Amino acid sequence: MPDFADALVSIQGREQLVHMLAYSVRCPEVAWFAIERLNPLDFDESTQLDFMIVWHISKMYWTEYGQVPPQHYLRSMSVSVLWQRGYQEPVYHEGVRRLVDSIYALQDLSNNDYGKKLLHAFFNDIFLKELKALSEQPADRTDIIEEVAQRHRRLSVSEIEQVDPFDLTVKPTFPKRTPTGTTFFDLLLGGGLLPAETIGLLGPSGGGKTLLALQISCSLAERQHYVEYFTYEQPAKDLQPRVLSCAAKVSSTKILGKTWDQMDSTSRQKIEEHATQRKAYLNLLDRSSEGCSISEIAGHIDKRIRLGKKPMLVVIDWIWPLVVRMTARSDRRGVDERKLLMAAMEDIKSLASETGVCFLVVHQLSTEVVKKSPGKKPQWFNSAEAGSFAWFLPYCFAIGTADPNGYCWLVGSKARNNATKEVMLRLNGEYNRFQATDKSMVFDVARQEFVNQDDVGKMPGMPGKVTPADGEEDEPPDADSEDHIAGIGGLQA
């Protein structure tokens, strides 16, 4: 993306405006930016009617033919459009002819960077006018902030970054994965987290999504990496006992329902030791009853970066309450929540890329998958509400339904080259963490639980039918299922 720090901040007079339009009409490198971002209605019809009409014709010609419109075509079509709009006085016709002639009379339009700076300056003028208009509207400030962010994204001049992988003039450095310390998760990730990546985490309701996200966060904090944890479902105060139990490996029965003085001294000592080690590295951000925009997340991350506390990980737990609140806003009522979920994920991925921060986005498994037995492995594409959720992410993981003893699958993502694609875990609710198991487990269909191979069929009176735990593969999604249809719709939208 080019640096416009030294760019023009405003268009100074008609001459610069003519030059801006000339670059937009005649220079392909600038024109493609203008076609995408510059709207004919961005010109003031009362004072810039000629610019509005000429750009309207030019934009249509570029879109249709992909090349510079001929001067004679632009002159004649501009006059024709004026007639159609009711501007039949000769003064208007002469105005567009003069503007077209001025555009094509300019000789040196080789400085594309200057053309982009002119376009940037014009967008800056428009943005300031729109910002003033928005400030005068009787709307909630959250709505205004989100609207400002959207308009800022539209009125921007940026380039697609080009990288020649064989250009070794500057010797490349490749990012190294940072281990989270949660070994089984690092194993599936191929070593740990990478900056700027967005990871999805699916799981059943009450099946350990938050527990795993907190376990990863605590482990990173232990290694003195900053973590920002946005909780959109449970209040932060409700999560604190689970965090302390997980970090200090103290049974939750020794914490819940007790005051600090009522805890036994051993538990207090362990909690204090682990809390001191992790203090100031994990922030729980309570959005359980409010929070309806990605912009506030972006603002908080920016603040942390400016304080020199750039997060290693940002957790959004979970994404659906945020999306529901976004649709409840006055300017988005009636918008399909599934489509808004996809838009929110695109914004999160852009934010991760811009800040170089890794995101972990928590979402629910499809109800169809949750209803299946624990022996059935979930897949990374089995998301609820919008089946295409995971397709837009580079990495996504799914926690399976746990059996009565807490054993369940954690299945790895698409496009992974790791030898390990899934692991079997035990959800230990008492200590608020998942534990890896090295046992050779199989799923006993009769008992509906995972057991050691030697224990199969030992239940009295039961045949002990066995299905190998690693042999149950998920069948292709049902073409008639609601989640599958939603996913296809999301991809086509």
pLDDT of residue 326: 80
pLDDT of residue 82: 94
How do residues 249-281 score in pLDDT, each as one tens digit?
999 999 998 999 999 999 999 999 999 999 999
Where do the CATH 3.40.50.300 domains begin and end in the chain?
A: 183-492
Beta strand 198-203 pairing with 395-399? parallel
The second-level CATH assignment, the architecture, of 183-492 is: 3-Layer(aba) Sandwich (3.40)
Strand partners, 487: none
d(CA 419, CA 408): 20
DSSP 239-262: HHHHHHHHHHT--GGGTTT--TTT
Looking at residue 2, its amino acid is P
pLDDT of residue 436: 86
How do residues 143-183 score in pLDDT, each as one tens digit?
555 565 665 555 555 556 678 888 888 888 888 899 999 99
d(CA 99, CA 101): 5
Split at pLDDT 50, 70, 90, the class of 29 is confident
pTM: 0.67
Q: Select the more confidently predicted residue: 420 or 124.
A: 124
DSSP 143-154: HHHHHHHHHHHH
How do residues 348-374 score in pLDDT, each as one tens digit?
998 999 899 999 999 988 877 877 888
Task: State in words which class domain 13-154 has.
Answer: mainly alpha
Nearest to 152 by CA among 121, 136, 128, 135: 128
Q: Compute φ and ψ for 466, nearest 5 degrees.
A: -120, 135
Residues 6+ apart with CB under 8 A from 484: 387, 477, 478
d(CA 220, CA 297): 20
For residues 20-32, average pLDDT: 92
Where do the CATH 1.10.860 domains begin and end in the chain?
A: 13-154
d(CA 212, CA 202): 11
Q: Give the tokens for residue 479.
A: 């073409």
In the 8-state DSSP scheme, what is residue 426?
Answer: E
Q: Give the tokens for residue 117.
A: 């700076």
Of 96-110, 294-308, 328-342, 367-381, the poorest mean pLDDT is in 328-342
pLDDT of residue 162: 76
Q: Quote the mean pLDDT of the chain.
A: 82
How do residues 384-414 score in pLDDT, each as one tens digit?
766 667 777 888 899 998 998 899 989 887 5
How do residues 301-338 score in pLDDT, each as one tens digit?
999 999 999 999 999 998 988 888 887 764 555 567 77
pLDDT of residue 490: 35
d(CA 399, CA 378): 7
Of 65-74, 136-145, 357-366, the poorest mean pLDDT is in 136-145
Please, where are the H alpha helices in 265-361? 265-278, 294-306, 319-328, 337-355
How do residues 421-480 score in pLDDT, each as one tens digit?
888 899 998 999 999 886 677 887 878 888 876 666 665 344 444 444 443 333 333 434
